Copies of this chain bind each other. A is one copy, B any other.
Amino acid sequence: MKLIQRLGINTLFFSKKDKRLAASIKVMMGSRPFNIALYKLALTPSGIAEETMKGFKISNERLEFLGDAILGAVIAEYLFQKYPYRDEGFLTETRSKLVNRESLNSTGIKIGLKNVLNLEIGDRNFIGNKSLYGDVLEAFLGAIYLDKGYHFTKKFILKRILLHFDLEGMIATVTNYKSKIIEWSQKENKSIEYKVLHVHGNQRFKEFIVALEIDGEETSQGKGSTKKKAEQEASKNACDLLKITQ
């Protein structure tokens, strides 16, 4: 089977449309796809998926789940290696900034998914589905993983996806939750106060627990190895709770 795929014999049995699709995927991926059915599935957003019996829809959502996990692992290793002196909080936050709907969407368009998608399903209307290309990109990564394995997918992500992400720019925009809360409180005319509730530990290892009070009522808590970190976490929790986004 491997030999047949390597010699490209399987493409002899592709339909004309599939051959065209395989060719454009090759341009995008840098390598000929083996199992074209996987890529076709990845290019099937749930909005246009056919419903089979028992209400089960064959769409790219399952592949998206897989691709999302693989992307997460590859980015985790990349950041781990790239920033040897940053702690896991930084790594986690940077990853979630990198792998968000918006950046995946624009990257999907940049690497040419729009054209491939047009080729496969025509120029249908997808108004309302804002994360179409990001979803398709993740599903596409899932398809590559199943078709070509982990190492190929990792190389593909590192060489063709990551360069579209503005890593340094994203890291520079550190979210300062405390200043968000202060801004919000001034706009909403509320008083805020941070109170240290506990300090655990010894000289070597400390843990602060801080409560954030809004108008005298405790809204959230946070903990961290410094007072500043604990305040940040409490502020972040309050932002989540109160749905403060900007």
A residues at B contact (CB < 8 Å): 46-47, 49, 51, 56-57, 61-62, 64-66, 68-70, 72-73, 75-77, 80, 85, 87-88, 91-92, 142, 145, 150-151, 154, 204-205
Contact = CB atoms under 8 A, between A and B. Distances in A.
A22 B49 CA distance: 52
11 contacts: A51-B204, A56-B85, A57-B87, A62-B88, A65-B76, A66-B77, A68-B76, A69-B72, A70-B73, A70-B76, A150-B151
Contact of A73 (B46, B64, B73, B91): B73
A91 B77 contact: no
B88 A61 contact: yes
Contacts of A151: 150
A69 B69 CA distance: 7
Nearest to A64: B88
